[in-house]
């Protein structure tokens, strides 16, 4: 095993340089992809109509593709949220596929219903009438397209998150050995295994400054770096040494040795000031117990 770098003043990693741009890049990717696809489809549909001699106005393909694109822009954040709630796991693959299959039906209904509504409004403004066609038949046709789009979105999101975790580093608990007794307690770990870009590091539990719940992960804060651990906040709390760590918020656990001061707030909550200069919230539910322990 290779030791963790000890210096908090080391040069920023590629992930840390990317973080300030992350939201802009993610938003730009989806907006750009959907809009470019809509423009390209509008042009090709209009070209096909001209070749076939159809009486299609120049604005109609733009309305068809634009209405679809607007609905996808609304749906994408919902898909991102849902993939956080239902992350990919090999041991729960059947449940994962079933939930996403059901979600694809909901997405199709929202997408088709919304875009048809927008098209009806657009045609009225232009003095025409939009006819969607036979709903059962057309809805089935649209679902065959939408389920592929939904699957592509989910695959893109999962691959992107996997790449981010490899770049950032992902923590896991040390497993019991195949043979013989473990060298340290598995139920109350003294160290965590961190895998980053194919390299493994051991992180001492006492080096963790604080932990934050993040969907189906808990981020371990170690020397200014965050390492996601696949666990619930309650699940990892039960495995940490209660003499070292304390729950201070529904989303935070703190290393007691890192607390410098506790600042009371008018709301009854508190703000924790840590040795590294960061601050954490402390809800009133945990404040009294924390004061006694500190």
What is the spatial distance between Cα 223 and Cα 4, in angstroms, rounded to a whole number?
A: 10
What is the spatial distance between Cα 181 and Cα 102, in angstroms, rounded to a whole number?
A: 45
Residues belonging to the chain: 294
| Position 175 in a domain | no
Same domain, 221 and 134: no
| Position 249 in a domain | yes
CATH code for position 262: 2.40.50.1020
Same domain, 273 and 225: yes
Same domain, 38 and 161: yes
Same domain, 123 and 231: no
What is the spatial distance between Cα 44 and Cα 64, in angstroms, rounded to a whole number?
A: 12
| Position 183 in a domain | no
What is the spatial distance between Cα 137 and Cα 139, in angstroms, rounded to a whole number?
A: 5
What is the spatial distance between Cα 8 and Cα 11, in angstroms, rounded to a whole number?
A: 9
Q: pLDDT in tens for each of the 294 residues of the chain? A: 344 443 344 567 788 788 899 999 999 999 999 999 999 999 999 999 999 999 899 999 999 999 999 999 999 999 999 998 887 777 678 889 999 999 999 999 999 999 999 999 999 999 999 999 999 999 999 999 999 999 999 999 999 988 888 888 888 887 645 454 445 555 677 888 888 777 788 889 899 999 999 877 899 999 888 889 888 899 899 989 989 999 999 999 999 999 999 999 999 899 999 998 889 999 999 888 888 877
Same domain, 152 and 210: no
| Position 6 in a domain | no
Same domain, 145 and 225: no
Same domain, 220 and 149: no
Same domain, 163 and 210: no
194 closest CA partner among 161, 221, 229, 238:
229
| Position 140 in a domain | yes
Domain that holds residue 251: 204-293
Which stretches of 53-134 are DSSP H helices?
A: 59-85, 93-125
User: Quick one: pLDDT at residue 85?
Assistant: 81
User: Quick one: pLDDT at residue 4?
Assistant: 41
Same domain, 209 and 154: no
What is the spatial distance between Cα 100 and Cα 88, in angstroms, rounded to a whole number?
A: 10
User: Looking at the 3D structure of the chain, how many domains does it have?
Assistant: 2
pTM of the complete model beyond 0.85: no
Q: How many CB atoms lie within 10 A of CB 201?
A: 19
CB 201 within 8 A of CB 1: yes
User: Quick one: pLDDT at residue 181?
Assistant: 47
């Amino acid at each position: 095993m290779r030791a963790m770098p000890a210096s908090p003043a080391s040069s920023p990693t590629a992930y840390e340089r990317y973080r300030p741009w992350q939201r802009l890049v993610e938003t730009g990717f989806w907006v750009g992809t959907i809009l470019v696809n809509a423009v390209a489809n509008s042009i090709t549909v209009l070209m096909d109509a001209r070749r076939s001699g159809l009486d299609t106005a120049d604005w109609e393909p733009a309305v068809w593709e634009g209405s679809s694109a607007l609905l996808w822009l609304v749906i994408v954040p919902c898909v991102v949220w849902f993939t956080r709630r239902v992350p990919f796991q090999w041991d729960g693959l059947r449940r994962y596929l079933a939930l996403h299959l059901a979600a694809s039906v909901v997405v199709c209904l929202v997408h088709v219903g919304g875009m048809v509504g927008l098209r009806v409004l657009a045609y009225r403004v232009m003095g025409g009438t939009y006819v969607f066609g036979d709903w059962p038949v057309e809805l089935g046709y649209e679902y065959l397209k939408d389920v592929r789009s939904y699957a592509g979105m989910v695959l893109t999101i999962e691959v992107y998150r996997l790449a981010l975790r490899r770049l950032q580093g992902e923590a896991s608990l040390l497993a019991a050995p195949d043979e013989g007794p473990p060298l340290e307690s598995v139920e109350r770990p003294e160290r965590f295994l961190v895998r980053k870009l194919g390299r493994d590091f051991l992180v001492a539990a006492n080096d963790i400054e604080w932990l934050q719940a993040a969907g189906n992960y808990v981020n371990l804060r170690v020397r200014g770096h965050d390492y996601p651990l696949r666990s619930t906040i309650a699940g990892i709390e039960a495995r940490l040494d209660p003499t070292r760590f304390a729950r201070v918020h529904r989303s935070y656990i703190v290393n007691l040795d890192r607390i410098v001061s506790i600042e009371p707030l008018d709301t009854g909550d508190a703000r924790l000031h840590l040795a590294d200069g960061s601050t954490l919230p402390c809800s009133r539910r945990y404040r009294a117990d924390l004061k006694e322990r500190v």
